[in-house]
Structure 1
Amino acid sequence: MELRQLEYFVAVAEEANFTRAAARVHISQSGVSAQIRQLENELGAALFDRSSRVATLTAAGEAALPHARAALAAAHAVRAAVDDVNELVRGRLAVGMVTACTVTPLFDALSACRRAHPGVTVDLVEDNSDVLVDRVRAGTLDVALVGLADAPPDDLESLTIVSERIVVAVPPAHPLTELPAVRLSDLAPHPLICLPRGTGIRTVLDRTCASRAVTVDVAMQASAPDAVADLAARGLGVAILSTSMARSYPGLVPLPLEDADVAAVLALVWRPDPSPAVQALKRTMALTPGGVSAIGVSEN
């Protein structure tokens, strides 16, 4: 039994005429008739009553028709699914990224995905991490690179790229550099410079201070880590950054916070059952030299 035989059978059943069915499937009437005969021989029953000019289904034909349609639909679904993931992915890929994030490998992956799947339109949106997570949940974003506190949300699929502690970053002559170890309580006399609420680093700071019953003064905030570091380098306050962020600024001294034990996490998040476009992006990132582990972590 072949799919083309089922296709011809359905065409004759729906057209009630061998000639019209042959025109519909673009072969000769004799070709349709021969294939239907072969199908009938294999099934051991006549599918059509040919006693008149109208091709009428027999009882066996009536019983076979819905299954033939289902088989053809299943075959079409198989083809569509393979086309979607075999370099024929189509549609829109909406990607979220934390504001002022430096993620060259992610951009490389988006570019490679677009080249491999020219049918995909890529939209890139920047915002704070909490907004991006909500948009992924709502379905207005397909995937987002976000900064989080401690762990990605349980209701989303995720890939953790970096998990590290927060630090303070100060100029070399700052009084905090004289301490043998810096604790959250040591920050109370100093103005802090941090990313805004809704970002991963700020959430880590707020959650850690709350757990330790410590009150700090966030005197300044900026949406980009570069701005936070620059303000701190000018002596305007103590910068709160992640470990890898702080290493990027040679004019500042990174100091670990002994009692800040909530991790700052950078992760890709997406909804369960991702679209073929999201799956294609994930595969592309895995194939990018260095993969996601190479992504910079200047994130919010």
Structure 2
Amino acid sequence: MELRHLQHFVAVAEDQHFTRAAERLMVSQSGLSASIRALERELRAPLFVRTTRRVTLTEAGRALLVEAERILAQVRAAHEAVAAVQGVLRGTLALGTEQCIAGVHVARLLAAFRREHPDVEIRLRQAGSGALAEEVAAGRLDLAFAYRTRADGDQLRSVSLTSEPMTVLCHPRHRLAATGTLLCPDDLAGEVFVDFHPDWGPRRATDTAFAAAGVRRTVALEVNDVHTLLDLVDENLGIAVVPRHFRHKRPTLTALPLKGAGEAEYETVALLPHEHSTSPAARALLALLEAEGLAPYRSS
């Protein structure tokens, strides 16, 4: 099995189109088709269902895609490791992050990384913690800043960066604001909630806290960005349970501590593959993070 066949296969799977994949790879469409046919003959299985508009993966193709991406990531890491030994850091840093992650100023960190390693191409993807964990495990990302989840597990290791309690945000005229006291999940039963999609770290932390307290809640207003969440709370359309640092983004809102949710319910981590698969670029970014004063203090 040739690496170029795997590279061609992954490109077609990503673009779902032979012509677009051929243009991106700068190869002829006939050559790309021949490469895919050779791979299908070797594996004795069709990898794509072809139509006039697009191509989709077969079950065998989906199984191969996971392994092909992992193999290509390891090959890339090998090239970058050799370059690093020679004193030059090259290649690509593929980083994932949730929005407004605690403890890391992502833009400032990447700017410092570019100054230190100008020959490394930086790629950034923003998504929920669950999706980011899957992409690091599959080799599509070198590392990700995310919320620690139980799914970190066998294929990932995590470096703990910071932790903080969860906080209730509400409008100053909301009935909860007048209490000015600690709240527990029972106090919030029946409230209208604004929250993120279930894949996001803050949503996972809140769902876990309420499940542990045996309190059911319904998210009526579901969003995928921090500013919309804050706007909805600011209009008194609902309350939100978020990591404590969110309160600084909208000082006009009332912030109330949530008890019964643990002292460190929301933990930010750097998710990485196992040590032998971690790219030199990812190691360099973590070293820079430590040098900037955010020392990774625990790895698991």
TM over 0.5: yes
Match of 2:286 among 261, 282, 289: 282
Which residue in 2 is equivalent to 1:204?
A: 205
In structure 1, stretches of 5+ residues that fail to align are 1-79, 294-300
Which residue in 2 is equivalent to 1:259?
A: 260
Structure 2 residue 122 is the aligned partner of structure 1 residue 142: no
Code of the residue aligned with 2:147 in structure 1: it is G
How far 1:153 sits from its partner (Å)?
4.6
How far 1:100 sits from its partner (Å)?
5.6
How far 1:82 sits from its partner (Å)?
7.3
Which residue in 1 is equivalent to 2:64?
A: none
- Partners of 1:150 and 1:178 lie apart in 2 by 37
Give SS of 1:118's match: coil
Deviations 1:1-29 (A, max 9, x none): xxxxxxxxxxxxxxxxxxxxxxxxxxxxx
Structure 2 residue 167 is the aligned partner of structure 1 residue 163: no
- Partners of 2:289 and 2:86 lie apart in 1 by 16
- Partners of 1:278 and 1:132 lie apart in 2 by 15
TM-score scaled to structure 2, two decimals? 0.63
CA RMSD of aligned residues (A): 2.7
Give SS of 1:189's match: coil
How far 1:211 sits from its partner (Å)?
1.7
- Partners of 1:174 and 1:151 lie apart in 2 by 36
Give SS of 1:92's match: strand
Code of the residue aligned with 2:268 in structure 1: it is L
How far 1:103 sits from its partner (Å)?
8.0
Give SS of 1:169's match: strand
Deviations 1:236-264 (A, max 9, x none): 00122111112332111111122222611
Which residue in 1 is equivalent to 2:20?
A: none
Which residue in 2 is equivalent to 1:235?
A: 236
Which residue in 2 is equivalent to 1:114?
A: 114
Residues 105 and 292 in structure 1, CA contact (< 8 A), matched pair in contact too = no
Residues 225 and 241 in structure 1, CA contact (< 8 A), matched pair in contact too = no
In structure 2, stretches of 5+ residues that fail to align are 1-79
Which residue in 2 is equivalent to 1:128?
A: 128
How far 1:101 sits from its partner (Å)?
5.0
Residues 150 and 265 in structure 1, CA contact (< 8 A), matched pair in contact too = no
Residues 169 and 252 in structure 1, CA contact (< 8 A), matched pair in contact too = yes
Please list every run of at least 4 consecutive aligned residues from structure 1 whose deviation after the TM superposition is greater than 4 angstroms. Answer: 80-83, 100-104, 149-155
How far 1:233 sits from its partner (Å)?
1.1
Using the TM superposition, name which of 94-103 and 116-125 deviates more: 94-103
Using the TM superposition, name which of 177-186 and 88-97 deviates more: 177-186
Matches within 5 A, 1:37-116: 83-85=83-85, 87-99=87-99, 105-116=105-116
Deviations 1:132-152 (A, max 9, x none): 011101111101011235896
Residues 161 and 294 in structure 2, CA contact (< 8 A), matched pair in contact too = no
- Partners of 1:279 and 1:105 lie apart in 2 by 18
* Cα distance change, pair 252–292 in 1 and its aligned pair in 2 (3 A): farther
Which residue in 1 is equivalent to 2:46?
A: none
Give SS of 2:242's match: strand
Code of the residue aligned with 1:167 in structure 2: it is T
Give SS of 1:175's match: coil
Larger radius of gyration: 1
Structure 2 residue 245 is the aligned partner of structure 1 residue 244: yes
TM-score scaled to structure 1, two decimals? 0.63
Give SS of 2:237's match: coil
How far 1:166 sits from its partner (Å)?
1.2
Which residue in 1 is equivalent to 2:215?
A: 214
Aligned length: 213
